[in-house]
Amino acid sequence: MNYPVSFHLNGKLIAVQVTAQESLLDVLRHRLGLTGAKEACNEGNCGACTVLLDSLPVYACMVLAVEVDGAAVETVEDMESEELHPLQKAMIDQQGLQCGYCSSGMLVTAQALLAHNSRPNKTQIREALAGNLCRCTGYADIIKAIQVASRARR
Ligand code: FES
Ligand code: FES
């Protein structure tokens, strides 16, 4: 059985039919074609699927699509424009990515952090990223990239 769900996705109101079991991640990737949020563990352990739900980072694999009815969802695709977002630029410049599988989740989490703390210190960045795993970089360059981006935004 399908259920109608409507929500704001990257600022645009959309309506979609979903099953009761479908996760927000499934709907984003398989029904709406937004593949920025990655499917990795699919059980709430890695953060590769992180999106913003009413401005807060959540694991899209752990949110049922029916739960987002009436909400606002932002994905990494919301950063897309003709120029790189400062966080994207800093992540590249500071070599904060290797395979890139964690990167969209890192960017979205960092975006939420900078929205309420425009100048986070290293400890605050580490705390914010606690739910986002990276198997490649060792985190130091990601943290540096977020600090660089925070300075670029001011
Ligand atoms: S894929 Fe969602 S937390 Fe790992
Ligand atoms: S860059 Fe490969 S998991 Fe983070």
Going from the C-alpha of 144 to that of each of 16, 106, 125, the distances in angstroms are 39, 13, 9
Task: Output the CA 63–ligand 2 centroid distance in Å.
Answer: 23
CATH number at residue 50: 3.10.20.30
Do both 6 and 56 map to the same domain?
yes
Q: In what order do the strands lie in the sheet with 2-9?
A: 12-19, 2-9, 72-74, 50-53, 56-59
User: What is the pLDDT at residue 154?
Assistant: 55
Task: Output the CA 138–ligand 2 centroid distance in Å.
Answer: 9
CB of 39 sitting under 6 A from ligand 1:
yes
Do both 61 and 94 map to the same domain?
no
Whole-model pTM? 0.96
Q: Which of 23, 26, 59, 129 to mutate to test the pocket of ligand 1 (most atoms within 8 A of CB)?
A: 59
Do both 38 and 104 map to the same domain?
no
CB of 42 sitting under 6 A from ligand 1:
yes
Do both 42 and 108 map to the same domain?
no
CB of 51 sitting under 6 A from ligand 1:
no
Task: Please give the residue range of the domain that contains residue 11.
Answer: 2-78
Do both 60 and 100 map to the same domain?
no
The tens digit of pLDDT for each residue in 56-107 reads 999 999 999 999 999 999 999 999 999 999 999 999 999 999 999 999 999 9
Do both 105 and 128 map to the same domain?
yes
What's the total number of domains in the chain? Answer: 2
Do both 52 and 114 map to the same domain?
no
Do both 73 and 8 map to the same domain?
yes
**Coil, strand or helix: which one is 78?**
helix
CB of 47 sitting under 6 A from ligand 1:
yes
The tens digit of pLDDT for each residue in 97-152 reads 999 999 999 999 999 999 999 999 999 999 999 999 999 999 999 999 999 999 98
**pLDDT surpassing 90 at residue 14:** yes
Do both 137 and 86 map to the same domain?
yes
CATH number at residue 130: 1.10.150.120
H or E element at residue 18: strand 12-19
